[in-house]
Structure 1
C-alpha cells in the first residue's frame, strides 16, 4: 500500500508562492496524486473514480521543472473539475475543459509566479488551450529553456543542417533539410530517411564522439 504524504511535500515541485493556491484542490476533493518517473509521451494524466478506486487519480512527472509541473497539475485538475460537473458527457479536451483550464490559469498571470517569457507564452496559449503543452510549439519551446537537463540535450531545430544527433535509443541521424515544422534526417545506420518534429529532444553529437 502506498504511504500517504503531507501536502507540504508538494512545495519543492511548485513555483515559489503557488502552494497555498494549489492545496485547496486536495483539501476539497479526494485525490491520489502520484509523482512518476519521466514519461516522454505524457506529462500527466487524470483518471476519474471507479467502483474499485473511489477517488480521483492524477499522475504528474516528477522530473518536470516547477513551471511545467504547475501547468501540468492544473491541466489534470481541470479534467477532474470537468468530470465532477459533467461526468463523461463531454469531450476530454472540449470547450468545457478549455474554459475550466483557462479559468484556473488566469489567477497565476501577472503575479510574478512565472518568468516573463513563460507568462507571455501562456497568455497566447490560454486563448485556445491545446490537449498538451507539447502540441503548442511556442509554449513548449519556452518551457524547454528551463528544463533541468545536461548540456548535450537539445531540440532538433537548435542544430544546424548537417549536424549529427543521437536519440535516446542510441541511433545516429544526420540533419539533411528543414521541411516547414519538421526536419528530414538520415539514419546513419541504415541510410533510411525520417522526419523529426522541430521540437523533438535529441542528444547532440560532438565531433570527437
Structure 2
C-alpha cells in the first residue's frame, strides 16, 4: 500500500495496489466465477435482463442506506459496532489506505449474504446466478471506486471527477451529505446532494459526533 498516495499514480499502478489487498482477492475472483458460471448455464432471457437491471437500479439506494444507517449509525455511549467504528476511523484519517476498504471481517459474510438473498428472492437457478453475478460485481465495483477516490490517482473523466469531488465534500465539509460512491443518483433522489455552499462546514466531520475515547 506504500504507493497509494504517491505522486503521479497511474490507473494501472492503482489497479496493482488494489489487486494486492485481501478484499480484492476475494471479490474479483468471486465476481468472475459467478459470471463464468452464469455463462455456462446458458439460455439468457428477458428475466435475466430484469434481474440484472433491478440490481443495478437498486445498488445506489442500498449503498445509501448502508452508509447512512450502518456506517454512520448514531453512537450510544459504550455501544458501537465494529463496522461503524472502522468507518469513523476512516473519517478521522481518510488518507489511510488500510481504512479505505470494507473491514475484512465483513467481506465474506457480505458475499455469502448477497448469495442467500438472491437465492431466496429469485429461486430459479439461472435467475439466481444472474443476480449473484451482478451484485457481486457491483460490490467489487464499489470497493474499487472507493479505493480509487481516496488514492492519489488524478481523475480523467467527468463522472469520476464528480464522484471524487463529492466524496471529498463528504469527508472534509459535511458528513451528512454526499453519501454515494459509485453514482450520485441516490443522493440526488434522496436530497443529500446540495451544492457545496448550501450547507455549512460540519464540526463533526472527522469524529462523526463521537468525542469520547472508545
TM-score of the aligned structures, taking structure 1 as reference length: 0.29
Higher strand proportion, which one?
Answer: 1
Higher Rg: 1
Q: Which has the higher helix share?
A: 2
Report the TM-score, using the length of structure 2 for normalisation: 0.28
